[in-house]
Amino acid sequence: MADPMRIRAQAAGSKINVRVLMSHEMESGQRKDVNGAPIPAWHIQEVSATHNGVEVLNAEWGPGVSKNPYLQFTVKNGKAGDKINVTWKDNKGESRTDEATVS
Amino acid sequence: MSTAIFSRSAWLVVAMCGAGAVWAQKTASDSIAEYRAMLQDGNPADLFEAKGEDLWKQARGPKKVTLEQCDLGKGPGVVNGVWVELPRYFTDTQQVQDLESRLLTCMETLQGFDAPTIRNTPYGKGEQANITALATWVASQSKGMAFKLPQAHAEEKRLFELGRQLFYYRAGSHDFSCATCHGQDNKRIRLQDLPNLTTNAGAGLGFGAWPAYRVSNGQMWGMQLRLNDCYRQQRFPYAQFGAEAGIALSVFIGVTARGVETTAPSIRR
Amino acid sequence: MKKITTTVICICALGGMVLPAMSQSEPADAALQNTLNASFRAEGQAGMDRLLQDDANRLCSQADASGKALSDEDAERIRQSSFKAIAWPTDGQFFGDYKLGEKLAQDGRGKTWSDKPGSENGGNCYNCHQISKTEIAYGTLGPSLYNYGKLRGISDVNSVTAKPIIDYTWGKLWNPRAYNACSSMPRFGHNSLLTQAQLKHLMSLLLDPQSPVNQ
């Protein structure tokens, strides 16, 4: 079970500013270990976010994204108390969803 | 006419080159400053903080007990404000201890973990990774507070003096001491600014930054690992976890930092 | 060889005055040694002998820690013994390839417990010095070496007038303590950090009029 994401969602006027820190190794697959053997790719491939159950963001990530990725986005027409859900899926089939309440 | 145009173009080209050279210099260090500013938001240290808080409250180890009775210097279970008073003397172990070695003491006495094994576990692995997460969380509970390491006990005073001697101790194949890099103002290695750890401001900057998330390798480093890696680069042998030399240096630098606000857990190159 | 003899005579003339016997510096602190021995362990190529201090390091560390500058006698003795131990090029040739010198100056590897034992070391020069104009990632712990040869008027490294600078530069790289008793700079030759061949590449980097350093 992967480590939880840290999600901060704050209402600013009618918008919601969302900041997400994801815990993931994000191995690009290009690196080699001390013996010269390639370290297998292990990284998030898909990220999606919902606002009160409605999908507002969908992203495809490649090996260029760094370890412990930081994602920031703004949702229109939201208010305090709304629910923001973020889900990531990686190339090994692992997945993680976390929820935050807009403050 | 063509001569005039050529001259003007040439002047423009020259001016841009001149400006370009200046611009290039400014942009290099400015860009780095901008990059560092951008890093402040979304510090992955937050992930380690969250993990550390969970570990503190989780019943673990052979004794299946939480760390909630751990005494970090201000009484069992008190976490608020302990970071800025460490290292300090502990009567139960009769030693001056820093945060990481004290966490290990609690893991041993409260939870039944085997301390020698953990001491020899490489950083970032097994229970060492958990100590780092715990230290990150505990440090975060003193955010905004100023360092006020105690110097009342004889052992605390002894370690301060020992730390000072160690700070200036030149050895290794390269004849480096801590002071070689950290003993003057406004110096840098490559493009990495070096805090002068012998001044109040510099010590505050340096000591107050760790635990820190290191962007260059995506790792969370506590002060023990920071010192271990300094010694590695000084071409010294391996500085052991929680040993007296590292604690003494922490006392020396931490006491010198008295009055400066902590910024841990921070983000670094 | 004539050049070396001349230099030695000069030093001897200076040393003609009787130096006092080894001045009374404090013995290496036993408590400090105990702490060091208990706090470190051997790892990789870094053995516990790395914790030992020679006279030069002991005296310079004590001066730093006490805030009391090194005595003139101690400083002179460190400089003299350092200078006497300098090994000059065995084939009398001081120069190599400045391109390899630049590579060495960029390379900070070697001698740590995580470095492969027996591998060649780098000079690590850019950590502390500005050297060529194009490399902006340079440190400021040491003075800038940009235009090193040019500033010293070296247009022909084989000329007689260049000799003192060539000797000084080699000597400084071999053991900086020969000129500055408590120099922070590592002793690249004296402590076998770099080979004679590697030092020659650095000499070219600094002194060859064609080197990027002197453009």
- Domain interval for residue C177: 28-215
Confidence of residue B29 (pLDDT cuts 50, 70, 90): low
**Interface mutation vs chain B, best among C49, C61, C68, most B CBs within 10 Å:** C61
* Whether the predicted interface score ipTM is above 0.95: no
The CATH superfamily label for domain A6-31+39-101 reads: Immunoglobulins (2.60.40.10)
Domain ranges, residue B27? 1-41
Opening angle at CA C52, ends C51 and C55, nearest 5:
140
Number of domains in chain B: 2
Rounded distance between C-alpha atoms, residue B197 and residue C146, angstroms: 29
Is the model's pTM score more than 0.90? no
Give me the residue from B164, B237, B245 closest to C46, CB to CB: B237
Low-confidence ranges of chain A (pLDDT < 50): none
Lowest mean pLDDT: which of B68-72, B210-214, C10-14?
C10-14
In this structure, the answer to whether residues B181 and B54 fall within a common structural domain is yes
In a domain, C8, yes or no: no
Structural domains of chain C, count? 1
Q: What pLDDT is attached to residue B32?
A: 75
- Report the pLDDT value the prediction gives residue C15, as an integer from 0 to 100: 40
pLDDT > 60? residue C105: yes
Contact assessment for residue C97 and residue C204, using Cβ atoms and an 8 Å cutoff: yes
Q: List the beta bridge partners of residue C40.
A: B239
Residue range B200-205: mean pLDDT, rounded? 98
Q: How far is A53 from chain B, CA to nearest CA, in Å?
A: 25
**pLDDT interval class at C39 (50, 70, 90):** very high
* B103 and B36 part of one domain: no
B contacts of C67 (beta carbons < 8 Å):
none
* B256: closest CA of chain A, how far (Å): 34
Q: Which of B65-79, B251-265, C24-38 has the lowest mean pLDDT?
A: C24-38
Query: What's the pLDDT score for residue C206?
Result: 98
- Out of B42, B50, B51, closest to residue A70 by CB: B42
To the nearest whole Å, the CA of B46 is away from the closest chain A CA by 7
Q: What is the mean pLDDT of residues B68-90?
A: 98
Using 50, 70 and 90 to split pLDDT, how confident is the model at B117? Answer: very high
**Which residues of chain A does B43 touch, with a Cβ-Cβ cutoff of 8 Å?**
21
Asked if B131 and B117 count as a contact pair (C-beta separation under 8 A), the reply is: no
Q: State the pLDDT at residue B30.
A: 76
**Same domain, yes or no: B5 and B49:** no
Q: What is the pLDDT of residue C103?
A: 98
Compute the count of residue pairs across chains A and B with CB atoms less than 8 Å apart.
27
| Catalytic positions of B, written as ranges | 230
C89-117 mean pLDDT: 97
pLDDT of the residue at A3: 83
Q: Do B28 and B107 reside in the same domain of the chain?
A: no
**Which chain B residue's Cα is nearest to A66?**
B218
Please tell me whether residues B129 and B104 are part of one structural domain. Answer: yes
- Confidence (pLDDT) at B6: 42
Mean pLDDT of chain B: 90
Q: What is the pLDDT of residues B181-196, one digit of tens each?
A: 999 999 999 999 999 9
Distance separating alpha carbons of residues A6 and C12, to the nearest angstrom = 71
Least confident residue range of A9-18, B1-10, B68-77: B1-10
Q: How far apart are CA C109 and CA C124, in angstroms?
A: 7
Residues ≥6 apart with Cβ < 8 Å to B197: B167, B178, B182, B183, B203, B206, B207, B253, B256
State whether B103 and B200 are in the same domain: yes
Q: Say how many C-beta atoms besides its own lie within 10 A of residue C100's C-beta.
A: 16
* pLDDT value at residue B168: 98
Phi, psi values for residue A85, rounded to 5°: -115, 135
Please check the confidence at residue B40 and state whether its pLDDT lies above 70. yes
Nearest Cα to A13, choosing from A73, A71, A72, A76? Answer: A76
The closest alpha carbon to B238, from C152, A14, C170, C37, belongs to: C37
Asked if the structure places residue C23 within a domain, the reply is: no
Q: Supply the CATH number for residue C135's domain.
A: 1.10.760.10
Answer yes or no: is pLDDT of C14 > 80.
no
Residue B53 and residue B72 in one domain: yes
Answer yes or no: do B118 and B139 share one domain: yes
Confidence of residue C6 (pLDDT cuts 50, 70, 90): very low
Specify the higher pLDDT residue, B15 or C61.
C61
Q: Is residue C52 part of a domain?
A: yes
The CATH number assigned to the domain holding B223 equals 1.10.760.10
